Structure 1
Amino acid sequence: MTTTVDYADLPSLVGKDLGYSEWREITQDQVNTFADATSDHQWIHTDPERAKDGPFGGPIAHGFLTLSLTIPMWTELLDVTGVTTKVNYGLDKVRFVSPVKVGARIRMNAVIADVAEVAGGYQITVDQTIEVEGGTKPAVVARGLSRFYA
């Protein structure tokens, strides 16, 4: 469910758990497209036959592919109205805790850790956890930074 908040009310979100995004399946086509875009064609990602005998029993998504999916999942969780510009400002910390096998479903939980004023706007610090359906550990744990300008 999307939390909608007006720009002026962003500071009230500190500590708010925004809940979970929808589940999304990781496909081999996604992995291959990401490999093409990044020139990372390591067999553990792009060769399903060889990957069957690898350490994970099949191909896995690139960690950075999984991390990049925080963007569409984040937009499912928060909508800020009354802004002219929304910027992905970066990351403070990222850990790839466990692999995401092709065919797995993932979703993200987001908690607003901080909201700080910056020149012309607000910066939001968000604790993001991507989990794998049926997994015992998260796939990715990240602290993301977003900026909103009025």
Structure 2
Amino acid sequence: MTGGLTHLNERGEAHIVDIGDKAVTRRRAVAQARILGKPETISTILGGGLKKGDALAVARIAGIMAAKKTAELIPLCHPIPLTKVSVEIEGDGDAAILIQALAETTGQTGVEMEALVAASTAALTLYDMAKAIDRAMTITDICLLEKSGGKSGDFSR
């Protein structure tokens, strides 16, 4: 391995990590994303007033669907049979929306990327649905909040 990066081999070439000898354990990850916008925009999104429909429901479904497609989107990610994915969306003050995505599996590799992809995609979906009224919205604070399971143990931000 090169410098502890698991997706590089001894020659520094990208490769998929061999998880064949890893223990099957319950794995869980929670990630977040935040959208900043004008208070009127945030209120319209949260209140269901967009012309495109129920943005929150669409964003939740988009996040769940994206988590299931993570291995197709992120090179070198293993396809994972997810046992649970949820996306929670709520107001965060008058000018922000907080999105939290949870992913779970029982398997040989973690679900951090699935949670991050879910949160990011839900945020992108909300941006898409509301961009007609506020193109200046900003997606920020995409990060892993916590993870559990596996050899590397637990993490909490």
TM over 0.5: no
Give the TM-score normalised by the residue count of structure 2: 0.30
Give the TM-score normalised by the residue count of structure 1: 0.31
Higher relative contact order, structure no. (Cα contacts within 8 Å, ≥ 6 residues apart): 2
